[in-house]
Amino acid sequence: MSRVVELGGLRMGSAEVASAVEALVQKRRSIRDYVQEPIGRDLILEVLSLAGRAPSAWNLQPWRFVAVTDAAHRETLQAAAFGQNQVGRAPVTVVVYSDMVDTLARIDSVLRADLAPEAKAKTRQSIIGFFETLTDSQRDQWGRAQANIALGYLLLILEAYGLGSSPMLGFDAVQVRSLFGLPDHAEVVALVAFGRPAEEGRASQRHEVASLVRWA
Q: Which residues bind ligand FMN (CB under 6 A)?
A: 29-30, 84, 167-170, 190, 201-202, 204
Q: Which DSSP symbol is given to 161? A: T
Return the C-alpha torsion angle 97, 38, 157, 60, nearest 10: 30
Q: Are 116 and 211 in contact (CB under 8 A)?
A: no
For ligand FMN, which is the closer residue by CB, 126 or 204? 204
Least spacing, CB of residue 87 vs ligand FMN, in Å: 10
**Nearer Cβ to ligand FMN (22/136):** 22
d(CA 71, CA 92): 10
Nearer to ligand FMN, 81 or 127 (CB): 81
Beta strands in 30-163 (DSSP E): 63-68, 92-98
How many whole angstroms separate alpha carbon 98 and alpha carbon 66?
A: 11
Provide Rg for the chain, Cα atoms.
Answer: 19
CB of 127 to ligand FMN, least distance (A): 27
89 vs 139, beta carbon nearer ligand FMN: 89
Least Å from the CB of residue 198 to ligand FMN: 15
Q: Minimum CB separation from ligand FMN for residue 165, in Å?
A: 9
